[in-house]
Amino acid sequence: MIISGHNPTNVQQAAEALCAGQLLGLPTETVYGLAADASNETAVAKIFEAKGRPSNHPLIVHVATPEAVTKFASAIPNFAQQLMAQFWPGPLTLILPRRPEAAAAAAGGQNSVGLRCPSHPVALAVLKACAAKGVWGVAAPSANLFGRVSPTCAAHVQSEFGDALLILDGGECDVGIESTIVDCTRGVPVLLRPGQISRTHIEQACGLKLVSPESLSTEAPRASGTLESHYAPSAKVRLMRAEEWQKALIALGPHTQNLALWSVEKPTEDLRGAGLFWRAMPTSAAQAAHDLFGVLRDFDARGVRSIWIETPPNTQEWEGVRDRLNRAAA
């Protein structure tokens, strides 16, 4: 059931559902989450079951304030403090050493925990209402079935989990791709997942160089968002340079069928067969991130068999979008 997140009574109802161990579709500025009380093992188990996600893949725990971090993290290095001060509330998740007694199931048994304070007003309102009832953290992975495209509006969540799930409608997500994840347990900041907050932003905020996970001797824990194939629609996704899709369309001639194209330029009329669905790819990375998952879902809903996507520029601001596209195409 979808209810408006802008109605305070509904926010209370949602917080009560969470505190009673139920699941909730929760809007955030990045993507919608499938939320549960992070300290309630039974409730957390429901998330893994509903998503079909392996229970050793850790979930992100959402908090209302930086202060609530100490309920879950046993230590906060200086550079993590600086990142929180700069980017919270916002689309940044920090991996910190976990208090042994806190949120073990949500952390997938890791001795670390991923924490994030979202900026979406509805998410913050729910988290504050939960904290007032003694529930300090809300675990929420993206509200999609394991391996599928993340949801960026309430209707997407309903299409994944059906009408039985209570979903707070907070409108379309502003950012559109999941939070940037920085591992803060290794003495230096390690970028585990790129997002809207770029490398340069992070390095400037904490005065340290970001390290990439490949350069570390010990492996980071296995995590859904970092699997090679993820965010995948049913159709086959191919990344192609503009010249490549243009050539390929010429080769197909008028016989394009069940084909979708997301590109900056609209194909000229002679290249557009009747079976081609086209959507404009924005030239701004932020706007493209905002549109990305909705476009993939839209193409899928049209029943296309192939999705061609123009390879985005190889610049830092496009890193989050490139990362999701590479996994969708894998």
Tokens 């299409």 appear where? 159
Which of residues 28, 39, 119, 158 is near ligand TXA by CB under 6 A? 28
Q: Does 179 bind Mg ion (CB under 5 A)?
A: no
Residues contacting 59, CB < 8 A, separation 6+:
38, 44, 47, 106, 107, 108, 114, 139, 140, 141
Stretch that binds ligand TXA, among 76-84, 156-164, 174-182, 282-290 (CB under 6 A): 174-182
- Residues 216-275 binding ligand TXA (CB under 6 A) are 220-221, 223-226
E strand map for 11-128: 24-26, 33-37, 60-62, 92-97, 112-116
Kindly tell me which residue out of 39, 110, 119, 142 binds Mg ion, with binding defined by CB under 5 A: 142
Residue in 25, 19, 32, 14 with CA at minimum distance from that of residue 165:
25
Residues 84-123, mask of contacts with Mg ion (x by CB under 5 A): ----------------------------------------
Interface pick for ligand TXA out of 10, 39, 40, 112 (rule CB under 6 A): 112
With both helix axes pointing from N to C terminus, report the angle between 199-206 and 78-87 in degrees, rounded to the nearest 10: 120
Cα separation, 143 vs 134, whole angstroms: 24
Query: Using CB distances below 5 to 8 A depending on partner kind, what does residue 311 bind out of ligand TXA, Mg ion, none?
Result: none
> 184 vs 205, which CB is nearer to ligand TXA?
184
Residue 153 interface partner, choices ligand TXA, Mg ion, none, CB cut-off 5-8 Å depending on type: none
For residues 40 and 112, which CB has a smaller minimum distance to ligand TXA in the complex? 112
- Interface of this chain with ligand TXA, residues 49 to 78, rule: CB under 6 A: 57-60
Shorter beta-carbon distance to ligand TXA: residue 58 or 294:
58
Number of residues that bind ligand TXA (CB under 6 A): 32
Q: Which is nearer to ligand TXA, 89 or 312 (CB)?
A: 89
- Are 67 and 123 spatial neighbours (Cβ–Cβ below 8 Å)? no
| 69's tokens | 């971090």
Is residue 30 at the binding interface for ligand TXA, with CB under 6 A as the rule? Answer: yes
Q: How many CB atoms lie within 10 A of CB 322?
A: 18
∠ Cα 242 244 245 (to 5°)? 70
Q: Which of residues 116-135 bind ligand TXA (CB under 6 A)?
A: 116, 118
Angle made by CA atoms 174, 176, 182, in degrees to the nearest 5 = 105
30 belongs to the binding site for Mg ion (CB under 5 A): no
Question: Per CB under 6 A, does 181 bind ligand TXA?
Answer: yes
Q: Residue 230's binding partner, choosing from ligand TXA, Mg ion, none, with beta-carbon cut-off 5 to 8 A by kind?
A: none
d(CA 69, CA 75): 9
Residue 191 found at the interface with ligand TXA (CB under 6 A) = no
Least distance to Mg ion, CB of residue 79, Å: 26
Q: Would you call 269 exposed, middle or buried from its count of C-beta atoms within 10 A (0-12, 13-18, 19+)?
A: exposed
Contact letters for ligand TXA, residues 138-157 (x by CB under 6 A): --xxx---------------
Longest dimension (CA), the chain: 64
DSSP strand E in 38-97: where? 60-62, 92-97
Q: By CB under 6 A, name the binding residues for ligand TXA.
A: 28, 30-31, 33, 57-60, 91, 93, 95, 107, 110, 112-114, 116, 118, 140-142, 178-179, 181, 192-193, 220-221, 223-226
Binding site for Mg ion (CB under 5 A): 142
